[in-house]
Amino acid sequence: MRRREFITLLGSAAAAWPLTARAQSSAKPPIIGYIGPAGASSESLWSAAFARRLRELGWIERSSIEIEYRWADGTAERLSEFAADLVRLKVNVILTGATPATIAAKRATAVIPIVFVGVSDPIGSGLVASLARPGGNVTGLSIQNVDTASKRVEFLHDVVPNIRRLAVLANESNPVIKREVEAVQAAAHALGVEVAPLDVRRADDIAAAFAALDGRADALYVTADPLLSNNTITISALTLNARLPNMHSIREEVVSGGLLSYGASFPDMFRRAAELVDKILRGAKPADIPVEQPTKFDLVVNLKTAKALGLTVPDKLLALADEVIE
């Protein structure tokens, strides 16, 4: 190439560089739609873990990424409205918590990628074709709450070996919760324990359910449902007032005054969800991203609550515990 041609070409390229840079800087950042089935306060640790991991991966909120939060506050009826709203906004990815929110998002779009967290049975719920090859526009992290229900019943029985009747607080309008209740019933019956389901579908039902129980239970099992998670403080106060030893699957519910929990770490799952979102924003397709399962289940014991209930937690259970709140 002759010198004059090279200089002309170099000058043209140099003139184009600022235009390219300006085009990149003026491009709108990707938008993540976040459907939180509980509330902003009850999910604060989880949403913070998600945003923090995105930041570590180079996505800075309100700079290189935007997050549109929608909080259902435990009201399942709002989920379809939120999903439709995010589709209208043309978000790049939708992050959902739990089964009902994920089903609502999938009904709203077959195009926008969806990443779920905390779905107990993604195949049975019709969200994915298989765990290894999800197909479609949905992938995420399962929680296996149905599979671990029997273990929670066993741990509760270790603390209260004389249980005769176990109350189960459940929102049975959630199809996965029905299966969890069935698993609890099977585990309880194997131990000779009767089960008393308490079906709650609105926040107002919770106090009424405890009143109807009227002392006719020896312990309480709280299922993993956004409605119940959003009313953790109320449930903790009612269980303490009724002097009911209680088991949960979410650590944060024990931090708020529950007795025991056994389940996957939600902050960890939301960190991993950020990694899946990162892959999708960089070009991966949800259909090709395997559904991940929990890698660790934590047993958490609240000794302050045990003392308030007049219970002694066996040493063998404390030795197994991943976290003891004193």
Q: How confident is the model at residue 3 (pLDDT cuts 50, 70, 90)?
A: very low
Q: Give, to the nearest 10 degrees, the angle between helix 266-281 and helix 44-56.
A: 40
Do 227 and 196 contact (CB within 8 A), yes or no?
Answer: no
Model pLDDT for residues 230-277, shown as the tens digit of each residue: 999 999 999 999 999 999 999 999 999 999 999 999 999 999 999 999
Q: How confident is the model at residue 302 (pLDDT cuts 50, 70, 90)?
A: very high
Indicate whether 23 pLDDT > 70. Answer: no
Indicate whether 202 pLDDT > 80. Answer: yes
- Quick one: average pLDDT of 104-120? 96
Q: How confident is the model at residue 221 (pLDDT cuts 50, 70, 90)?
A: very high
Domain extents in the chain: 26-143+265-295, 149-264+298-325
Q: How confident is the model at residue 31 (pLDDT cuts 50, 70, 90)?
A: very high
Continuous H helices in the chain: 3-26, 44-56, 79-88, 98-108, 149-159, 175-190, 204-213, 226-229, 232-241, 251-255, 266-281, 303-308, 315-320
Q: How confident is the model at residue 17 (pLDDT cuts 50, 70, 90)?
A: very low
Indicate whether 50 pLDDT > 60. Answer: yes
pLDDT at 14: 40
Q: What percent of the chain has pLDDT over 70?
A: 92
- Quick one: average pLDDT of 317-321? 97
Q: What mean pLDDT value characterizes the chain?
A: 91
Please give the full DSSP string across 125-140, using - where no structure is assigned.
Answer: TTS-S-SS---TTEEE
* C-alpha torsion sign, points 151, 226, 255, 219: negative
Model pLDDT for residues 272-300, shown as the tens digit of each residue: 999 999 999 999 999 999 999 988 899 99
Give domain 149-264+298-325's CATH number out of 2.40.30.10, 3.40.50.2300, 3.40.50.1860, 3.40.50.150: 3.40.50.2300
**149-264+298-325 has the same fold as 26-143+265-295:** yes
Indicate whether 21 pLDDT > 80. Answer: no
Is domain 26-143+265-295 in CATH 3.10.20.600, yes or no? no
Model pLDDT for residues 53-88, shown as the tens digit of each residue: 999 999 999 999 999 999 999 898 999 999 999 999
Indicate whether 22 pLDDT > 80. Answer: no
Q: What is the pTM of this model?
A: 0.86
- Quick one: average pLDDT of 302-308? 97
Q: What percent of the chain has pLDDT over 90?
A: 82
pLDDT at 15: 38
Indicate whether 120 pLDDT > 90. Answer: no
